[in-house]
């Protein structure tokens, strides 16, 4: 695994800095030996954690060389003190690596509303820098976990104008620390040479098809962050908006890698036992299809029915009805995988329900809905809503 995650010019490390709990990996660093072109997507919440605000500001120049990530405390809702801390700890990294502090990205995940102390960062920094290694990314994937049960990694290799390039990604999912927040973090590294102006657009396209298509409980974190660094060491001709064929190859690999990571997050959603694709076609527009799919994918009634393995199409049509999307209830078809339970708004009887129930017993399946209004299509990936979800999230922070 650790061999696979190597990319030219990138080294990584993680250590136990004892930020909130003792003796677990909670501080990580990713470093590129040359400044990389960089792009980011961040939480759409009005409440943005200090590292998110700092990261957005610094990415305006489209360059990054290091990413430091801590778990334990999110540095969200921490006011001016929190912003100062983000800058100060970022400067520690810049000084230790002798790089411009504007090239350091800082990410945090953990409890909201508590202040980070600079001390554990200062004490851990020499060890962290000393441990940097081409094989270190696997440990970073562990260090950023919160209630995640498994680390999430993905690798893709493609050829750009005859030159082999590699993309690796790691992510953490929708876990609450102690249990206080649901942060999604993703970091994608590539040795591909990509023009900065092109990189941000590519990341947006891939995000819209991956991380922006998943839901565990409909909540958005203050710290959601995805960063993409391309250091160009593969030596391929620079991919830009003119090199259409090359860009398509790289875009497809990026989309594929990020969707892989996104689905890993849903499979490992808190308490999740099933991965469900909610697919809507025949909508007035793609946006309407996505909105309809999202309403279904977030409905507690639908999600508890998935957990109960109940092919309860009444709840699906109920969620559709309140989604705000235009359709005629008397024309809707609903299928579980290929088992059509509803045709033109009418249930198809006990035999189809028996077949559909078999589909729901699977670990992964799709709900396919045809509104027959237009040609809009969209899908959302969700998980079921289990007793364990409530248990995990009702436990007092401790």
Which active-site residues does the annotation give?
183
Q: What residues pair up with 251 in beta bridges, in sequence order?
A: none
8 A C-beta contact, residue 297 and residue 386: no
Within 13 Å of residue 304, how many CA atoms lie on the same side as its CB?
6
Window contacting its own copies (CB under 8 A); options: 22-30, 74-82, 206-214, 233-241: 74-82
- Of 6, 26, 41, 48, the one binding its own copies (CB under 8 A) is 48
8 A C-beta contact, residue 335 and residue 245: no
- Of 260, 347, 372, 374, the one binding its own copies (CB under 8 A) is 347
Q: Which of 233, 269, 200 is nearest to 61 (CA)?
A: 200
Window contacting its own copies (CB under 8 A); options: 244-252, 259-267, 274-282, 318-326: 318-326
- Of 176, 226, 281, 380, the one binding its own copies (CB under 8 A) is 176
Q: What residues pair up with 14 in beta bridges, in sequence order?
A: 28
**Site track for its own copies across 84-123, x = CB under 8 A:** ---------------------------xxxx---------
Asked if 318 is part of the footprint of its own copies (rule: CB under 8 A), the reply reads yes
Asked if 41 is part of the footprint of its own copies (rule: CB under 8 A), the reply reads no
> Which of residues 158 and 182 has its CB atom nearest to its own copies in the complex?
182
Neighbour count for residue 211 (Cβ, 10 Å): 20
Pairing of strands 275-283, 364-370: parallel
Contacts of 331 (CB under 8 A, 6+ apart): 344, 345, 371, 372, 373
- Of 108, 146, 147, 180, the one binding its own copies (CB under 8 A) is 180
Asked if 390 is part of the footprint of its own copies (rule: CB under 8 A), the reply reads yes
> 187-207 in b/e burial notation, b at 16+ Cβ within 10 A?
bbbbbbbbbbebbbebbeebb
**What is the Cα–Cα distance from 80 to 61, expressed in whole angstroms?**
23
Residue 387 to residues 358, 384, 392: CA-CA distances in angstroms? 21, 10, 9
> Which of residues 32 and 298 has its CB atom nearest to its own copies in the complex?
298
Asked if 330 is part of the footprint of its own copies (rule: CB under 8 A), the reply reads yes
Supply the minimum distance, in Å, between the C-beta of residue 46 and its own copies. 5
- Of 75, 78, 89, 277, the one binding its own copies (CB under 8 A) is 78
Residues that bind its own copies (CB under 8 A): 43-48, 74, 76-79, 111-114, 176, 180-182, 217-222, 299-301, 304-305, 307-310, 312-315, 317-323, 325-327, 329-330, 342, 344-347, 385-387, 389-391, 393-397
């Amino acid at each position: 695994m650790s061999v696979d995650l190597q990319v030219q010019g990138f080294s990584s490390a993680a250590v136990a800095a004892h930020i909130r709990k003792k003796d677990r990996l909670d501080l990580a660093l990713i470093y590129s030996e040359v400044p990389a072109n960089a792009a980011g997507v961040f939480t759409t919440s009005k409440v943005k954690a200090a590292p998110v605000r700092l990261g957005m500001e610094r990415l305006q120049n489209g360059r990054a060389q290091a990413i430091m990530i801590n778990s334990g405390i999110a540095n969200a809702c921490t006011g001016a003190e929190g912003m100062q801390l983000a800058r100060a700890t970022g400067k520690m990294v810049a000084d230790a690596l002798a790089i411009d502090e504007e090239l350091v990205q800082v990410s945090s995940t953990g409890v909201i509303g508590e202040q980070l102390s600079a001390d554990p960062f200062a004490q851990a920094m020499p060890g962290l820098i000393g441990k940097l290694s081409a094989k270190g990314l696997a440990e970073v994937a562990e260090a950023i976990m919160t209630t995640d049960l498994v680390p999430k990694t993905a690798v893709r290799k493609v050829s750009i104008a005859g030159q082999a390039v590699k993309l690796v990604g790691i992510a953490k999912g929708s876990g609450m620390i102690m249990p206080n927040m649901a942060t999604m973090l993703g970091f994608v590294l590539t040795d591909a040479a990509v023009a900065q102006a092109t990189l941000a657009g590519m990341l947006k396209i891939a995000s819209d098809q991956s991380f922006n298509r998943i839901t565990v409980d409909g909540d958005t974190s203050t710290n959601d962050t995805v960063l993409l660094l391309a250091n160009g060491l593969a030596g391929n001709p620079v991919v830009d908006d003119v090199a259409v064929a090359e860009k398509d190859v790289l875009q497809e690999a990026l989309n594929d890698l990020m969707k892989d990571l996104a689905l890993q997050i849903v499979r490992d959603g808190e308490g999740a036992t099933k991965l469900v694709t909610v697919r809507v076609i025949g909508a007035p527009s793609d946006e309407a299809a996505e909105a309809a799919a999202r309403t279904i994918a977030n409905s507690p009634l639908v999600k508890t029915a998935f957990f109960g393995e109940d092919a309860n199409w009444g709840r699906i049509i109920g969620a559709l009805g309140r989604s705000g999307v235009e359709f005629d209830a008397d024309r809707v078809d609903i299928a579980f995988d290929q088992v059509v339970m509803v045709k033109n708004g009418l249930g198809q009887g006990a035999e189809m329900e028996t077949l559909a129930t078999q589909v729901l017993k699977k670990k992964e399946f799709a709900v396919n809905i045809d509104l027959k209004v237009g040609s809009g299509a969209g899908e959302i990936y969700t998980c079921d809503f289990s007793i364990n979800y409530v248990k995990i999230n009702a436990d007092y922070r401790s």
